[in-house]
Amino acid sequence: MENFKKRFFEKAKTHFDEQVYETWIKPVSLEIAENSCYIVTPNQFFKDWLEENYFEQLKNIIFSLMDNEIQVFLTVSRNKKLNIYPSERLHPELIQRYTFENFIKGKSNEFAYAAAKAVVDNLGGLYNPLLIYSNVGLGKTHLIMAIGHEVYRKYPDKKVVYYSSEKFMNELISSIRFEKMHEFREKFRTADLLLIDDIQFISGKTATQEEFFNTFNSLYEAKKQIVITSDKFPKQLQNIEDRLKNRFEWGLTVDIQPPEYETRVAILKNKASYHNINLSDEIAEFIATHICSNIREMEGALIKLLAYSSLTKKNLDLNLAKEILKDFIPEEETTLTVEQIQKTVSEYFQIKLTDLKSQKKLKTISIPRQIAIFLSRKYTQLSLNDIGNKFGGKDHSTVIHSINKIKKLIETDNNIKKHIDNIEKMLTKNR
């Protein structure tokens, strides 16, 4: 047993790069019981991250070291295990935390979320198939698995089948090779709900497309629900037959856009809360400000912070977070200054820079000033007092008042929100 563990870590060290090995592989332990191998992780968020990113590679390493057949499981150390879903009925083949309850809604994804919920309430109905598309890391897999969990919970008699398109293809090849096509077709064509993730990976695979075409037709004619995710709108998918792309558009096609700032902060706070971690607002805002277009990358940054805190027993503050995340957030991404923000805001509203820094209380000046203060807090790491000094010596309470006022206006005044969005685009271009 000890020899097996030693060989496992030796092989893992050569397989993964040094940072991944030290952060995610070295802290785990192995336990063997009969024909099962358990990869024991320090806590729940550690388990989740391994499951999503490195589990297949770890399994392959273990398989290569064992002569006999063995099952591999990820688990949490007994004295750290969290009872997160004590009463819910969750689908065993889906990631547990990918439920509707854990999906953070915002303007960027509210239509896709509503469509997913509607499918659960009317399987095989108007929105069949449902196709969800977006760039990588924006929540497609979370949403498709949430549908699976909800159907599995609400309708225990329904057969839910979830596969990535790549796994569908590999299983098809294996079934052809070992003459098990009857069993293959029985599995997929008797589903009440078929969930296929990342359909773009069957691009150029003629036999796989043919089989999926026939599977699709069989389920659709039987009024069974099909949900598909893709990285592109159906018509933009390359090397996929037109007859398949046409069928993808028979139901409802929805997209997910990159999340807005407020949604990014909410996602980070929710994920930290899920793992019973107290994440400060300033750290959440720091990550949300500098990682804008990819939820998975943003969560990766958070996981690194949580892992560091858990393994070193150190409390996180903003300066420590910046140091830990220097690989996630390049130095040039943090170089906006208050002066740049002031200049951009004054140019946008066509007011004098001296007026922006003055004590004048005209609304045409005070609102731009408050926006500039809000953006200075969001995009720089200066203290409230330092920001106040940059605006003609405003005190701490005035700066807080300005920030809170703009936060409320963003929620209630679309014009203010549009102004801020436009200014942020200008700031991004000028970096």
Cβ–Cβ under 8 Å, residues 96 and 146: no
CA distance 4 to 32: 10
CATH class of 261-332: mainly alpha
What string of DSSP letters covers 78-114?
TTT-----SS----TTS-TT-SSTTPPP-TTTHHHHH
Supply the pLDDT for residue 79.
58
Supply the pLDDT for residue 236.
93
Supply the pLDDT for residue 203.
96
CA distance 103 to 97: 9
The CATH homologous superfamily of the domain defined by 110-255: P-loop containing nucleotide triphosphate hydrolases (3.40.50.300)
CA distance 383 to 351: 26
Give the tokens for residue 277.
């971690």
C-alpha dihedral sign at 306, 307, 311, 316: negative
Q: Which CATH architecture has domain 2-76?
A: 2-Layer Sandwich (3.30)
Give the tokens for residue 382.
């200066």
- Regions in the chain scoring below 50 on pLDDT: 80-88, 332-334
Write down the domain spans for the chain.
2-76, 110-255, 261-332, 338-430
Side chain identity at residue 184, one-letter code: F
CA distance 42 to 36: 19
Confidence (pTM)? 0.66
CATH of 338-430 among 2.40.160.20, 1.10.1750.10, 3.40.50.1260, 3.10.310.30: 1.10.1750.10
CA distance 431 to 413: 27
Unique residue bearing structure tokens 């807080």 = 400
- Tell me how far CA of residue 335 lies from CA of 181, 322, 339, 416, in angstroms: 58, 13, 11, 25
Supply the pLDDT for residue 47.
83
Supply the pLDDT for residue 87.
38
